[in-house]
Structure 1
């Protein structure tokens, strides 16, 4: 379907409501006067096609996405930190197991699997942070 055809397509109640919500937001932002808002709102609910709805909001900028709350941002930051920690752990595990494998092959037989010690301690620290939180001063001061 081309852009020219979409203007003739019939609009649904949801489409009209979406335009009405955008007009309400423009009124709240001070972009429309009450008279302009009322006129455009009447036109929006009387519109039958997309072509009639489009000009009602064409001179209005797109709404900025809502900024996430502090708690959501904090949770996302912690999640990214945990993912990075596990990625670092995995990379180090590959290197340490590779070193163990090379030394085992060079010695002619399997040697003690020493990578389990540093990797186990590191995994325990990451898991404790996951379960109990870091409790760091920087996290507490943001609350």
Structure 2
């Protein structure tokens, strides 16, 4: 039976290594015996086309992407929270400055730039939170807990 389409395409070292990793995972999960694993691994490294690689993993489930480590997940949550906090800060700053500009224009005189007070305080809190690494999602226990 002739190979057609992508199956006849030459396999790269990366293709062979990807199949070898799937075989290792299957062996670690108990899906392959050591003999089956060794046989398939030898065939994977000897394969010259993608069509020769695919049957080696055809009866194995697709690999499940690994969950990020707790440290990586915590870092991503902290980063997302910081981005959201700065985005909220910028939106409120824009609205406060617009209110100040409209009131200054409508009165015909330049008013005291009062938006700097809430914008500055909020910005300082955001910076302090970033420096301290406090993600703000810690649960503080009350007295007696």
Residue 76 (structure 1) shift = 0.9
The answer as to whether partners of 2:23 and 2:41 remain within 8 angstroms in 1 is yes
Residue 140 (structure 1) shift = 8.7
- Secondary structure of 2:138's match? helix
The answer as to whether partners of 2:78 and 2:135 remain within 8 angstroms in 1 is no
The alignment of Structure 1 onto Structure 2 pairs a total of residues equal to: 139
1:60-139 correspondence to structure 2 within 5 Å:
60-134=60-134, 138=138
Superposed CA offset, 1:76-97 (max 9, x none): 1111111111111011011101
Consecutive unaligned residues in structure 1, runs of 5 or more = none
The answer as to whether partners of 2:26 and 2:60 remain within 8 angstroms in 1 is yes
- TM-score w.r.t. the length of structure 1 is 0.87
Distance verdict in 2 for CA 1:6–1:89, change over 3 Å: same
Superposed CA offset, 1:89-135 (max 9, x none): 01101110111011001101211111001100110111111112338
Task: Give the aligned partner of residue 59 of structure 1.
Answer: 59
Cα distance in 1 for partners of 2:62, 2:40 equals: 17
Task: Give the aligned partner of residue 12 of structure 2.
Answer: 12
Task: Give the aligned partner of residue 45 of structure 1.
Answer: 45
Cα distance in 2 for partners of 1:133, 1:98 equals: 32
Q: Which consecutive segments of 4 or more residues in structure 1 shift more than 6 A?
A: none
